[in-house]
Chain A
Amino acid sequence: MIQTFPKGGIHPAEDKFSAGTPIRVLPLPKKVSIPVSQHLGAPSEPIVKKGDKVKTGQLIAKSKGFVSTNIHSSVTGTVTKVDKMPDSSGYKRLAISIDAEEDQWEEGIDNSKTLNRNISATGEEITGKILDAGIVGLGGATFPSHIKLSVPRGKKAEVLIINGVECEPCLTSDHRLMLEKGEELMVGIQLLMKALNVKRALIGIENNKPDAIRHLSSIANEYEGTEVRTLQVKYPQGAEKQLIKAIINREVPSGKLPIDVGTVVHNIGTAFAVYEAIQKNKPLIERVVTVTGKKIESPSNFMVRIGTFVSDLVEASGGLPDDTGKVINGGPMMGKALDNLDVPVTKGTSGIVIVPSAEAKRKPVLNCVRCAKCVGICPMGLEPYLLQAATEFKKWDLVENERSLDCMECGSCSYICPSGRPLLDYIRLGKSTVNKIIRSRKQ
């Protein structure tokens, strides 16, 4: 049975050029810059200073507060700077720069490829270890994973959902991971199930990845309680609430979390990182990043150390093409455009998409013709045209009452608009203003 979510959604061109390229390990970078804020929540606190020698996997910044996590060095070398560095928005944020010399791993880390299926850790140990290893949601939201595993009192998780949808066009990192690290993933899922104390795990995969569905289904039989669910291709199915609706047909109420309907969603990449953290004692210092684009020489999937510069990555896949109009950190629907390539790969970087100049510019903006297409495709059942106008005319109470905060910024409205209107640009502004207003009201 092929499942999907019923409300809204679009079908952007998939353009998954790198789906057939196996994951390559990117050669060790000479220099890395590791921002202390790679996750949602409070930035971590650096515990190294200039001149310190660090080993690969060594803790260099500590979790600060509940919604925060640890950060580890991804190379062995000398700390050259603990200072503000431009992040992907160009604004300066605190980062730790390290000159890499060699690759000597911190003691206790098992850096071998052997599969370890033997689960010995208890649920609590698993959750604790996930915080220690600095694991965050690798789908792009970078929400610290240990929080999702700490089920609040009075609530109960019934089923774990694993997000293998990868509905963003172009990106293939999760797809490759499912094909190449299937067994490890399954062990990771078992670990997550144990931490949550649930008996069932459902892996959602869209049917544009039949090889991954076949592969994971065949090994899922060996693992108790896991099951692969085939999903119809539709964007934004990888959004948490849409995925839950598609797989177990429950709607997370507005302003609530998945745990309120008895489920927790984790990404494929996260499951792999959990496997490595628990079974191999290896913190999150590398991830799979897709480098792709229509004009790029060799679209690839790389296993990349966190903190590697985007320019190094692009170089490894054939260099920046002459016809480059835009460089996106992430997928084309929700990724962030970069204005230069000297920014580091962070825990949330799922891909780098190079867009040729012909496709880099937006359509000219025309009047809204009220075609209602944005209303029809909004997966959250909002009215983007109205939110946009209300924001433009600063009617903040209307923006708030029309449920702008339910918007997850999937970009479907801007995608579909025949008049090329910057709907999401304004909705985002509306959301942040409404958030500010709500915060000031509470004080």
Chain B
Amino acid sequence: MDKLITVSPSPHAYGDDTVKKLMYGVVYALVPALVISVYFFGIGALIVTSISIVSCMAFEYLIQKYLMNARPSITDGSALVTGLLLAFNLPTNLPWWIIIIGALVAIGVGKMSFGGLGTNPFNPALVGRVFLFISFPAQMTSWPEPIVSRLQYADATTGATPLGVVKEGLNAGVPVSRLMEQIPGYMELFIGHMHGCLGEISALALIAGGLYMLAKKIITWHIPVSIFLSVFLFTGILWLINPYDNADPLFHLLTGGLVLGAVYMATDYVTSPMVPKGMWIYGTGIGVITVAIRVWGAYPEGVSFAILIMNAFVPLINKYVKPERFGEEVKNG
């Protein structure tokens, strides 16, 4: 034996999952939604997505290399996912410099200031989005007209999201049934024909991507299902009590980036609980807070805030919610 043999503790076999593979799995899952977005919003969608991805990856590289003196790990794809998700949460007519600020906040504040991948308590893309939402409310709440504004970027004609229409109308005392006439039908909403952020419009494409991630075992079903279920039940109860002032549950499920949030943002590994039981608590919390903000809050839309709020509870959930141990309760049959 000329070559030295390796000695290591067991196991000696390894699975082929890597962080890189999982991250690129998320990217593939997001592609259909991006395609639909390009169909409805045209070049605006392309410009915003590329700026967001490039600046997120650039910031990650620069911060790792020059501020943290670490070996840059942008190839692992996590910055790519953050960039893509940040873009998905922005209107397609957003000026380029605002996107770059958003990317800086997402990567710099949301991720790297806590030590990089794996240590950030809040979803970086959402930190970026919420920062922009509060800092640039005007730019962040003007959404281009789908299809019509395909060839326009900053100068696109804009309108309000379905949730915005409902919120404003209800504040003005208009009944829901009248407001529903102003917004597209449910089938249109499902496909994604509406005003909204870049990637949040098409529930169809997002769910397809979500199923892909489930099949590839990138995510588990607990978080999306618990969010959908809690939103459905909560809005359903409100709707049954007072159908005059409350939109129906299906409308709430299809609008305002709920699917994007539930399938892609809330399931972010780093900022979600580790145990199925904890995931139920977390998902239900997100659902309830989302509806509360939508119905009683000042904003028409609450998914991002709800996820960030529940992110803060994750360490607590992880501490107190433990997996079902083998042999803990004697269940003999």
Contacts and interface: CB of A to CB of B under 8 A. Distances in A.
Q: Consider the complex of A and B and state whether they touch directly, i.e. have CB atoms less than 8 Å apart.
A: yes
Interface of A: 7, 10, 12-13, 169, 241, 245, 249-254, 256, 261, 320, 324-328, 330, 332-339, 353, 355, 357, 360-363, 366-373, 375-376, 378-383, 385-386, 402-403, 406, 409, 411-412, 414-420, 422, 424-425, 428
B6 A325 contact: yes
Interface of B: 1, 3, 5-15, 17-19, 21-22, 73, 76, 78, 116-119, 220, 269-270, 272-275, 318, 322-333
B8 A337 contact: yes
Nearest to A385: B274
Contacts of A250: 332-333
A337 B7 CA distance: 5
A411 B78 CA distance: 27
A418 B18 contact: yes
B326 A7 contact: yes
A355 B78 CA distance: 32
A362 B14 contact: yes
25 contacts: A12-B13, A169-B13, A250-B333, A251-B331, A253-B328, A325-B6, A332-B11, A336-B10, A337-B6, A337-B7, A360-B5, A366-B73, A366-B76, A369-B270, A370-B118, A372-B220, A375-B323, A379-B326, A381-B326, A383-B323, A386-B318, A419-B18, A419-B118, A420-B14, A424-B9
B321 to A, nearest CB: 10
A326 B7 contact: yes
B332 A418 contact: no
Contacts, number: 172
A334 B325 CA distance: 22
A402 B18 CA distance: 27
Contacts of B7: 326, 337-339
Contact of A360 (B6, B116, B322): B6
A254 B331 CA distance: 12
B14 A406 contact: no
Nearest to B274: A372
A370 B269 contact: yes
Contacts of A425: 9
Contact of A332 (B5, B6, B12, B117): B12
Contacts of B1: 320, 324
Find the residue from B18, B22, B323 having the highest chain A CB count within 10 A. Answer: B323
B167 to A, nearest CB: 35
A335 B7 CA distance: 11
B5 A416 contact: no
A252 B39 CA distance: 58
Given A169-B13, A353-B12, 16 more contacts: A253-B327, A326-B7, A328-B12, A332-B13, A338-B5, A363-B18, A369-B19, A369-B22, A369-B117, A370-B270, A375-B274, A381-B325, A382-B325, A406-B326, A417-B17, A424-B10
A367 B5 contact: no
B275 A363 contact: no
A414 B275 contact: no
* Interface secondary structure of A, over-half rule: loop
Nearest to B13: A332
B10 to A, nearest CB: 5
Find the residue from B119, B220, B326, B328 having the highest chain A CB count within 10 A. Answer: B326
Contact of B324 (A7, A10, A418): A7
B13 A13 contact: yes
* Interface secondary structure of B, over-half rule: loop
Find the residue from A251, A338, A355 having the highest chain B CB count within 10 A. Answer: A251
Contact of B116 (A251, A328, A367, A402): A367
B326 A415 contact: no
A414 B11 CA distance: 7
Find the residue from A10, A253, A409, A422 having the highest chain B CB count within 10 A. Answer: A253
B274 A370 contact: yes
Nearest to B331: A251
A251 B5 contact: no
Contacts of A353: 12
Contacts of B330: 251, 253, 261
B310 to A, nearest CB: 15
B327 A256 contact: yes
B231 to A, nearest CB: 23
A370 B121 CA distance: 11
Contacts of B11: 332-334, 411-412, 414-415, 424
B164 to A, nearest CB: 35
B170 to A, nearest CB: 39
Given A333-B12, A406-B325, A424-B10, A325 B19 contact: no
Contacts of B275: 372, 375, 383
A188 to B, nearest CB: 28
Contact of B14 (A256, A363, A403): A363
A415 B14 contact: yes
B325 A403 contact: yes
B120 to A, nearest CB: 10
Find the residue from A254, A261, A370, A406 having the highest chain B CB count within 10 A. Answer: A370
Find the residue from A251, A371, A380, A414 having the highest chain B CB count within 10 A. Answer: A371
The 9 A-B residue pairs with the shortest CB-CB distance in the complex, in nearest-first order: A411-B11, A367-B118, A332-B13, A381-B325, A418-B17, A372-B274, A360-B6, A380-B326, A371-B269
A13 to B, nearest CB: 7
Nearest to A423: B11
A207 B3 CA distance: 39
A367 B73 CA distance: 11
B323 A378 contact: yes
Nearest to A418: B17
Contacts of A373: 17
Nearest to B78: A369
Contacts of A326: 5-8, 12
Find the residue from A241, A385, A420 having the highest chain B CB count within 10 A. Answer: A420
B10 A409 contact: yes
B225 to A, nearest CB: 16
